Amino acid sequence: MMYATARRLLPGWLRRYAYSFEALIEDSVTDLAARLPAGARVLDAGAGEGQYSAHFQSQRYTGVDLGIGDAGWNYAGLDAVADLCALPFAGGTFDAALNIVTLEHLREPGRALREMARVLRPGGILLLVAPLDWEVHQAPHDYFRYTRHGLEYLLAQAGLEVKEMTAAGGLFRLLSRRLLNAAQLAPWLLPFFGPLALILPLLDGLDRRRDFTLGYRCIAHKA
């Protein structure tokens, strides 16, 4: 909700700076669309309201979701309402798939990733974004958080080879985001926490290990 407000009120450069995780997601989806040829088949597994469909105007986009995550969302634009653990597509149907901050909402994430791998063609690409340090959301359908090692394990078990694993910032970006969360709970704190929230990301280079992070962006290929 806070990010939706930021999209309306903040200039683009400031929004991308303060909400770097969301900026990483947008850039990753844009990059995926740019690397795919026209006509390629793309599966958005956990599409929600289909907010990423506009990136794939040149491709054949298919949005799938179970449609239970957020009671306030409009799922009318989905191409299929389905459980990601039982996708209604033949094996090797898609050239690429994306699963954006959805894996935490699945009771059987390993099974869902195996299904995504099944419907990908050999060499197909999966873009996966999953949270590590994140608040409970879309309750009660919020079950897990993921370390890089957990994601690597699940992807390998699904027959997918990790090509890239990128942390969504380090400790100081995480602290910055938590200050914004505090101001969301108590808006009178924003004049005190807001300036510090903007300064902290400048120190993020001090956290070289990125063990403290909001989440991870993964690029994986089907063997």
Range of the domain at 138: 38-163+213-222
Percent of the chain with pLDDT over 70: 96
Residue 65 DSSP symbol: E
Q: Is the dihedral of CA 23, 124, 144, 139 positive or negative?
A: positive
Task: Inform me whether the pLDDT recorded for 1 exceeds 60.
Answer: no
Residue with more model confidence, 79 or 1: 79
Query: Is 141 among the domain residues?
Result: yes
Compute CA distances 148 → 54, 66, 130, 145, 222, whole Å: 29, 26, 9, 10, 18
Residue where the block lists tokens 């994430």: 109
In a domain, 2, yes or no: no
pLDDT of residue 8: 63
Give the span between the Cα atoms of 50 and 17, in whole angstroms. 24
Q: What is the pLDDT of residue 4?
A: 61
- Exposure of 82 by Cβ count < 10 A (0-12 exposed, 13-18 middle, 19+ buried)? middle
Q: Is 110 exposed, middle or buried (0-12, 13-18, 19+ CB in 10 A)?
A: middle
Task: Give the domain CATH number at 147.
Answer: 3.40.50.150
Q: What's the pTM value of the predicted model, to 2 decimals?
A: 0.93
Please write the tens of the pLDDT for every residue from 138-184. 999 999 999 999 999 999 999 999 999 999 999 999 999 999 999 99
Give a yes or no: residue 187 inside a domain.
no
Q: Per the domain annotation, does 174 fall within a domain?
A: no
Collapsed DSSP state (helix, strand, coil) of residue 213: coil
Number of domains making up the chain: 1
pLDDT digits (tens, 9 = 90+) for 25-68: 999 999 999 999 999 999 999 999 999 999 999 999 999 999 99
Residue 118 lies in a domain: yes
Q: How many CA atoms lie within 13 A of 159 on its CB side?
A: 15
Residue 116 belongs to a domain: yes
In a domain, 48, yes or no: yes
42 domain-assigned: yes
**Region label for 39, one of left (φ > 0), alpha (ψ between -120 and 50) or beta (otherwise):** left
- Which percentage of the chain shows pLDDT scores above 90? 90
Confidence of residue 95 (pLDDT cuts 50, 70, 90): very high
